Chains A and B, each alone.
Chain A
């Protein structure tokens, strides 16, 4: 089985936000929720870098560990998914998540956040693959159709990579050695406890 991961090569990201738009469109993500977003560090200064960030589908995921009702599960591909039927909207996954991935449809006071929503790696949820229920709750299930997440698939500079860990790490490693620099595989140390030599 593959171990699916995301890798954002910040030296290639041009902050076009197409990944954000593609995600919102593909999954009909409700207004106010962003499963993926682009953040620019040192914006406007020399050497600024933009990073496209979403759920990193961590190894031994913190959200899964802290969830008081155990609504998370990790698939055989290493994708971290959750059940909206079990989620009670307590917000703990947001406190534990190193990447700010969990999103809630409501403002959140009085314990009324609503069911948590996050990046599914285009892999849906616990419902039957490709079913109407799955689409309404979690969006499209591209993985079940043999396709990779849309954000990475349509990235114009191929900054955002998705796929098997070994393959995308190899691509990044080759890029770094060929061009001579790399600002790092953002989030890999935190999410997977590993770095790609750069």
Chain B
């Protein structure tokens, strides 16, 4: 009996040993060259192979800077192509394109006049707070836009004119302005989102307004509430575009806080593309608010608009306001109205 147990144990041990040998890789087979010499690279990493399998080659280093553990990221070349070629084309086509279109439009259509003339009766369109928020955001936007475009277009356009030293001084200040003015700009976008959201949901009125070309193309005056479909589009461009630009901008401003180099490149791509499209869209906004339409600029500057302007461009809004008695009294006969 004892003999049998001992034999079984021996048999079991032998089977286990054989299994282990069978499972283990044949150690010597791969690590030798055909002629029997040792091949120390049999299991070693090879650069070509790593580059084909991975986007980045990373390892382990001995210094605290973990970014330095990435020794190769050929994607930098692609990002370079985006920044030097693609972004410049997108930006140039969008901004110059919109500028040319606006110029042509102005030459053909001219300023949209108040067709029935000024009535002399005015009503408040934007409160002091609304105008403060608008101009804070607008001022920041213009400075951010110029300092941002400088990073993409300054080198080919401005540097040859003013020379490298002056261009560096200007770019350094532009960079500081860009970084710090991002805070009031973001605050402005948030306030714009909150204070005008109630009037910016699409409605059935907008469909008709768009169908009639907003009264800009042609001479109709489609009905509109406080904001027409075009203004609603500007609102959503500011809110969504501003949100995207702020989010990507803060990633760029706090580099490598939870991001790696690929994500930093992506943030720059998003920031650049949204920014140039944003600038192009705002050119249209600036045009219609100044040169493009009589009586529009004063709405945001003085806060008031003429009754006839409101009748032609925001008839539904005027009805509501008038019913609440918010129109000023008609001017007394024979007295001159101060030019508004």
Contact = CB atoms under 8 A, between A and B. Distances in A.
Q: Say whether A and B bind each other.
A: yes
Interface residues of B, number: 63
A51 B58 CA distance: 11
Given A48-B45, A66-B83, A96-B80, A86 B71 contact: no
Interface string B65-79: 101111111111101
B71 A90 contact: no
Given A94-B261, A98-B77, A53 B71 contact: yes
A41 interface: yes
Contact of B46 (A37, A94, A183): A183
Contacts of B71: 39, 41, 51, 53, 99-100, 186-187
A47 interface: yes
Helix, strand, loop or mixed for chain A's interface?
loop
A11 B264 contact: no
Interface in B141-160: 150-152, 154-155, 159
Interface string A88-105: 101110111111100000
Contact of B150 (A39, A51, A68, A98): A68
B43 interface: yes
Interface stretch (A106-114, A143-151, A157-165): A106-114
A14 interface: no
Contacts of B61: 37-40
6 contacts: A10-B47, A37-B61, A41-B71, A50-B59, A62-B77, A88-B171
Interface of B: 33, 37, 39-48, 50-51, 57-63, 65, 67-77, 79-80, 83-84, 150-152, 154-155, 159, 164-165, 167-168, 171-172, 175-176, 178-180, 253-257, 261, 264-265, 268
